[in-house]
Structure 1
Amino acid sequence: MKCLSKRQGPCPLCGGKTRFRFDNRNDAGTYFCNHCGAGNGYTLLRAFAGMTDREALEFLEGESGCRPAAHYDERSLKAKAEAEAREKRAKLNAA
């Protein structure tokens, strides 16, 4: 893709002619657009393809052949949040 060079050029998201720069800092796929702002490869994929988080993760899982980390599982996130809330409540009640 021409926009993934380290040169200033058209933004694949907003269509601006010379706003977009793909700098790929720390191999994270980072970019900056004077109109859209900054982001990484994941946010670029989501915005460019119009995907939800789940759709982007499923796409990446299919492309890479590996499963996403457990912290992206909604059930485990909810369980973790509930456990943290119980711990905080217990600390407040003990005080």
Structure 2
Amino acid sequence: MELNKAVIDCMQSLRRRLRAELAVDIRLSQPDAVSAMLSACMASNDPQTRELGEHLANISDTPMKPTAPPIKLAAESADAGSAGSYKVYRGQRVYS
């Protein structure tokens, strides 16, 4: 991949947005800087950041891979299905 002025300018503005929004510090000198920025853009909730990521993917000829949805643990899915409220007391769930 060739780093030209358009790619570097886009990376710099995207780097500023990601640092402010997600507290992600990506250096432009990293060998995987473009892919790290694109994966951080997929985790962003800001549409402008996602748009900048798509623009970077287009001008750098790097595909933007969607992030996988988080995996639910068995305990989490069992708790989500239970009807009733609970409180956490000394690290234990107390159902009321």
> Would you call these one fold, judging by a TM-score over 0.5?
no
Higher relative contact order (CA 8 A, sep 6+): 2
TM-score, structure 2 normalization:
0.28
